[in-house]
Amino acid sequence: MTSPPRTVNAAASTSSTPASTVDARLQAVIFDWAGTLVDHGSLAPTQIFVDAFATFGIDLALEDARGPMGLSKRDHIRTLLVEAHVQAQWRARFGRSSSEADIDAIYERFMPMQIEHVGRYSRPIPGAVETLAALRRAGLKIGSCSGYPRQVMAVLLPQAMADGIHVDHVVAGDDLAAGGRPGPFMALANVLALGIGDVRTCVKVDDTTPGIEEGRNAGMWTVGVSLSGNETGLTLAQLQALPQPELAARRAAASQRLLAAGAHLVVDSVADLPAALADIEARRAGGERP
């Protein structure tokens, strides 16, 4: 179920071209991975951050770990370490502020743990396989990018493919010298690889605010995912067990954060994406641009 459309950059989005001259068809959809295509609740990265920090004697709550989700994993660690309560723990434990060398040390501890455990969370989100098949039938190209480094994606991809998740291109969080989210670089690398001539015919789909900002910075349409990913952070079973009022409240809160980051539309999960794409094509036919 989609939220009411919201245009963040009104000047860009309301510029009109006569509908008769507009080719409304989209050319590509670029997906995030954890929380968007696989791993309902985006549990693999968040729990491993908690576990990795714990090996240094730092108590990190799961909600703390979720805060910077969408960034590359090294940037995620850097962002967590500058949080006041985390930095206070670090100084109490080691008698000094954290350094770049400490970021490296945590990252080196994190990586083998993430590689070991990512497969546990590789199951497709319900509706993902069917949605990808529908996009292919419609002639759309399918790109993807992730905050996961290439070593982790090398473990995740074969398992996801065995479960029916097939994409045309993958950009990992450490592939590009230019950096990751919220910059546009991973999304634009997909545009180049897929041979798309106009970024305005692309849609970025993501469950995190940096991922939405990435799509906006790349000049694309953006669709946020509210219930299956990081902004809600629950397994499918946990989500299904919620009373309806609490489910509605969580949907509204997640949608508000994604819309504030610049999402043009928000859906519950990737299963609802085809209706959102139809909405975007209707808006394009009317001359609207992202």
Tokens of 95: 């008698």
**For residue 16, with 0-12 CB atoms within 10 Å meaning exposed, 13-18 middle and 19 or more buried, which class applies?**
exposed
Instruction: Give me the pLDDT at residue 16, please.
Output: 37
> How do residues 112-143 score in pLDDT, each as one tens digit?
888 888 888 889 999 999 999 999 999 999 99
Structural domains of the chain ordered from first start: 10-42+123-285 (3.40.50.1000), 43-120 (1.10.150.240)
- Say which amino acid occupies 225: V
Reference 270, options 4, 24, 13, 39; nearest CA is 39
The answer on pLDDT for 5 being more than 80 is no
The answer on pLDDT for 55 being more than 70 is yes
Reference 158, options 38, 49, 35; nearest CA is 38
Assign residue 287 a region: left if phi > 0, alpha if psi is -120 to 50, beta otherwise? left
Work out the pLDDT band at 76, boundaries 50, 70, 90: confident
Work out the pLDDT band at 210, boundaries 50, 70, 90: very high
- Say which amino acid occupies 152: V
The answer on pLDDT for 52 being more than 50 is yes
Instruction: Give me the pLDDT at residue 125, please.
Output: 97
Distance between CA atoms of residues 224 and 19, nearest Å: 26
Residues 6+ positions from 265 with CB-CB distance below 8 Å: 2, 3, 5, 222, 223, 224, 276, 279, 280
**What backbone torsions phi and psi does residue 71 show, to the nearest 5 degrees?**
-75, 165
Query: Which segment of 25-34, 107-116, 136-145, 221-230 scores lowest on mean pLDDT?
Result: 107-116
Catalytic residue among 39, 73, 175, 204: 73
CA dihedral 84, 86, 92, 95 (to 10 degrees): -80
Work out the pLDDT band at 22, boundaries 50, 70, 90: low
Task: Work out the number of other CB atoms within 10 angstroms of the CB of residue 43.
Answer: 19
Query: For a pLDDT cut of 70, what percent of the chain falls above it?
Result: 92
Q: Are strands 141-144 and 202-206 parallel, antiparallel or unpaired?
A: unpaired
Instruction: Give me the pLDDT at residue 252, please.
Output: 97
Instruction: Give me the pLDDT at residue 11, please.
Output: 28
Active-site residue 32, yes or no? yes
Query: Which segment of 72-76, 122-126, 281-285 scores lowest on mean pLDDT?
Result: 72-76
What's the chain's average pLDDT? 89
DSSP code, position 139 = T
Tokens of 17: 């071209």
